[in-house]
Amino acid sequence: MVKKNKKQVLGRGLSALLDDPEREINSPSNDNSDELVGKVIDLDIDKIEVNPYQPRTQFREEAIGELAESIKTLGIIQPVTVRKLGRNQYQLVSGERRYRASKSIGLKTIPAFVRVANDQETLEMALVENIQRKDLDPIEIALSYQRLINEIQLTQKQLSERVGKKRSTIANYMRLLKLDPIIQTGMRDGFLSMGHGRALINIEESEKQLEIYEKIIARSLSVRATELIVQKVKKGQSIIKTKASRLVFYDNAENELKNYLNTSVAIKVTERGKGTIQVPFNSQKDLNDILKKIKRED
């Protein structure tokens, strides 16, 4: 008799499982959990709440609008992931941009993978999945690593295995959190790259970090120019004596050569102004092409 009832419930589809209070699924060990967990189902978008463990703290309205237009045309290509909280109650694990964009255009349902997890597992899933995204800024990634270590109690080795990154890569990101908060904000807003941040972290004094930061913004200094300034400051020279304009000149010259030769170029300069120009090539044909471009100036 029990088997018959079970078949009848399963025969009504996944919606029957979601609405049946006697067969509530709150754990992977519950009956019928394999029929629901890990499957893609259309969920009522109003039954989904946002994830309080979301690693991303900034959502650009312009990007959400562009995604909404894409969803209007193509639909939702990648389902969101949710965890089941209770009967007809779900919480986002990942996919908040898709969720926000869908709500903005008035969608009533959204395709979703259903998971069953506790708060700690949800935090770990959200952090690990979001770290894999390409559009996170370096500070968001660093904060996610820090939360996994502090709140999930992972070692750097365990974290390395979870996210598929080298321990040295993780350490480099987390070191960025030692930068002055103003500089961290600059990185989050796109004024600085991770390379700039890694150079600045070698300066311990916050005041000097900020002084160099202001020079980077005012003169649009490259990572290479920033590294040279940092080296000189660490030797006790003032920032004024580092002659940032001269560094910009070498950087511009490097870019001009790159564009003209259509290949990577590196200019190495000593403190006395002597230097070398390095032009790598991958084959004899590459070298011939470079030589032809140089001979055109004869």
Provide the annotated active-site residues: 96
d(CA 190, CA 120): 31
Strand partners, 90: 48, 84
CB 240 within 8 A of CB 272: no
- Residues in contact with 24: Cβ distance below 8 Å, sequence separation at least 6, in sequence order: 30, 86, 87
Phi and psi angles of residue 89, each rounded to the nearest 5 degrees, phi first: -130, 130
CB 127 within 8 A of CB 120: no
CB 45 within 8 A of CB 103: yes
d(CA 209, CA 35): 56
**Can you tell me which residue has the tokens 């259509």?**
262
d(CA 131, CA 174): 13
CA angle 151, 155, 159 (to 5 degrees): 85
- H/E/C letters for each residue in 79-122? CEEEEEEECCEEEEEECHHHHHHHHHCCCCEEEEEEECCCHHHH
